[in-house]
Structure 1
Amino acid sequence: MTVEGSDRYMREAGAADPLERMISTLRMGDGVDAGIANGIEVAVQRWRTLPRAQVAGRTRSGRTTVARALGLKHGAETAPVDEPGFPDPVLDADIIIYVLASTPSPGDRRILAELPPERTLLVLNKADAIGTSWADAVAAADQYSRAFGLQAHPIVGALAAQTVAGALREADLALLRRHAGNGSLSAVSAEAFVSPAAGPDTEQRAELLDRWDLYGLGCALAALEREPGLSPQTILQILHTASGIEPVARLLGLRYQQAISRRAGGLVDELTRLAARAVPQGQSRARALITEYLATDEASWLGLCGGLVDPEVSHLAAGYPQPEPADADDALARAIRWRAVVASDMSPAARRAAVRVHNGYVRVWERMSSVGL
């Protein structure tokens, strides 16, 4: 499920920030409180740090191209995996995008078997080179999805990266319009595309082929054959869609939201542990202040979002279109359902996550129904 909204409290630190106020107050206390303040600050900084993504795969799988196509920062790609004589890179990011561009090697299989599904995206790059049609690439992706327990997506990373970074010029479009319907240009051959037999613009066609590849140009020519008046921007959107990158980009956005939600739950868990460690003595206020914060709407919501994406119980929230209930009745129904989940036989970690969700929906129901006012 999509868990959005867990970043609503990821504000810049300032005077109105209850967590920063708590840290400042505890720093002015005795040694115990100052130590607890340090622990809170580390937990808050970890939560407020943007999730990190890695793009991994074997040599020539297209890691850098896929990273560009998804708008990731330079350096997101790792060293190649399964490289003879070199150790595999450490894949420890919040989100791991694993790129296949051919039949998985034993090294690919070993690494994919170890990656956590909730943090991993699997893409089958260079899909235009698989079989004779896009359906063949989809079938291969489905096969890998079943083999690795990860949803695999076929993409043409080079085309996707070009649609993100470049634009289709009017001169390019005019050339393509001149050749739309020319059967020789849609042949599965770069040599046929740049053949002098197609006309005097051989050099321009070669330059287009270098930028857009045969698959992209074939898609553009097919679109123009059906509708010659398409604009450059429309053609660019068609190519972007044909690259297969859009479902991957949406899933990446979902994974970012889930990573933020997991960190929100981690913050609440860490504050709970720090409160348990803060044994009241003398003028110490750590336990009281942390407990006061954990009772707020903010902490309740962060715990709820974290619980919904916890791998132990996330499947139980698969039917929720969003974490916020539609109304008070929906909030109450969710609270009752999660109370039953808490009462079921489950691991301590799963029960802790379910309790967070139950308590969060109880709090939302109280606010929506005015019971808590």
Structure 2
Amino acid sequence: MREVGSVDPLDRLISTLRMGDGADAGIANGIEVAAQRWRTLPRAQVAGRTRAGRTTVAGALGLQPGVETAPVDEPGFPDPVLDADIVVYVLASTPSPGDRRILASLRPERTILVLNKADAIGTSWADAVNASRKFGQEFGLPAFPLVGSLAARTVSGAFQESDLALLRRLAQSGTAAAVSAEAFVSPAVGPDTAARTELLEHWDLYGLACVLAALEREPELAPQIVLQILHTVSGIDPVARLLGQRYQQAISRRAGTLIDELTRLAARAVPHGGSRARALITEYLDTDEARWLGLCGGLVDPEVAHLAAGYPRPEPEDADDALARAIRWRAVVAGEMSPAARRAAVRVHNGYVRMWERMSSVGL
């Protein structure tokens, strides 16, 4: 861990090079650009056709306003350029030819496919799960069913005790068996038609059916528990978890890109006169911080990421785990692979060697 108040090693490297000759100052500029790119937060886009629910899904995931792209496959307009670190692609039905064209071009490690309005697919949640699985397999992308409107309301809304009292009465009377909006708001159910209509408009039939089913089993559920149930049945949790993982992977990719750029700058920095660029960059690349960044970047490299799929986290559990990982990645490096994959594997191996040294005190 870096001590509080300590100078960032990259900033110190840049500052030192700026005080050198003209060539070193130019290299400092290159390092600063690379460092700024690494420190910039990953960017997300939410894409899909008109009325697929892009804005609703973005809100349900807590993404900043403005991440929605222009609609895909809009007559008279070009398709949006999907070049963000993470793309959440929203479907609301069977993919159109335009959807298929775009989805076929997206990279799996940067994309999440969401089948929105899942409550309108088939007759049960299982139908929506099967449909999303089918589309995910077709396009080679992780895919999830979602009721985005319900998920968004659980983020910003709340259940009142008065609403629950009404729903408890309906659950006890058997209205939970109603399968249509018309039956739910029917005057025959009771005099509180206006209140039921308001509940239906806010939570939709799918959400209310889930609440009624829960209240049939446990009538005294508290409002916050009911909200948590709705949040879960909306399908948002697995999407949000993968989105968080994608953000971490994007940060790791940028870390790997930073190490690649520093390595290139060091190779181009021909020592002459008073130039210290190559020596100083090489010194930084041998620090614990740089080794860690290189390890993280290597683990998410698309050509070798599958080899780390069994790791619960990048950090090893202890010195023995670090050594076992280092030995495994040494074997990977010795295998047949592309130069880019070998560079990634070498960085993972070197990173785990350094962690083993630190954990076992060998490197102290």
TM-score range, shorter chain: over 0.9
- Alignment of 1:90 with 2:110, yes or no, is no
* 1:323 paired residue number: 314
Contact 1:131–1:137, Cα closer than 8 Å, also in 2: yes
Contact 1:54–1:78, Cα closer than 8 Å, also in 2: yes
Paired amino acid for 1:221 = L
The DSSP-based 3-state class of the residue aligned with 1:88 is coil
In the alignment, which of 166, 177, 183 is matched to residue 175 of structure 1?
A: 166
1:274-319: CA deviations, max 9, x gaps?
Answer: 1111111211111111111001000001000110010010001111
Structure 1 segment 1-373 matched on structure 2, within 5 A? 16-184=7-175, 186-373=177-364
TM superposition shift of 1:76: 1.0
TM superposition shift of 1:320: 1.1
Alignment length, in residue pairs?
A: 364
TM superposition shift of 1:194: 1.3
* Distance in structure 2 (CA, Å) of the matches to 1:184 and 1:16: 65
Paired amino acid for 1:169 = Q
Paired amino acid for 1:39 = G
Which structure is higher in RCO with an 8 Å CA cutoff and minimum separation 6? 1
TM superposition shift of 1:184: 4.4
Could you list the runs of 5+ residues in structure 2 that have no partner in the other structure?
A: none
Paired amino acid for 1:83 = E
CA RMSD, aligned part only? 1.5
TM superposition shift of 1:181: 3.6
* Distance in structure 2 (CA, Å) of the matches to 1:164 and 1:144: 27
Paired amino acid for 1:86 = F
TM superposition shift of 1:188: 2.7
* 1:5 paired residue number: none
TM superposition shift of 1:99: 0.6
* Distance in structure 1 (CA, Å) of the matches to 2:227 and 2:86: 28
TM superposition shift of 1:370: 1.5
Contact 1:56–1:81, Cα closer than 8 Å, also in 2: yes
TM superposition shift of 1:212: 0.5
* Distance in structure 2 (CA, Å) of the matches to 1:15 and 1:34: 23
Determine what percentage of the aligned residue pairs are the same residue. Answer: 81
Paired amino acid for 1:38 = N
TM-score normalised by L of structure 1: 0.95
Paired amino acid for 2:356 = W
* Distance in structure 2 (CA, Å) of the matches to 1:305 and 1:293: 16
Contact 1:185–1:192, Cα closer than 8 Å, also in 2: no
* Distance in structure 2 (CA, Å) of the matches to 1:67 and 1:123: 11
TM-score normalised by L of structure 2: 0.97
TM superposition shift of 1:210: 1.0
TM superposition shift of 1:15: 5.3
* Distance in structure 2 (CA, Å) of the matches to 1:276 and 1:169: 65
Write out the 4+ residue segments of structure 1 that deviate beyond 2 Å after TM superposition: 181-188
Contact 2:150–2:234, Cα closer than 8 Å, also in 1: yes
Paired amino acid for 1:356 = R
TM superposition shift of 1:182: 3.8
Contact 1:15–1:21, Cα closer than 8 Å, also in 2: no
Contact 1:339–1:355, Cα closer than 8 Å, also in 2: yes
* Distance in structure 2 (CA, Å) of the matches to 1:310 and 1:182: 57
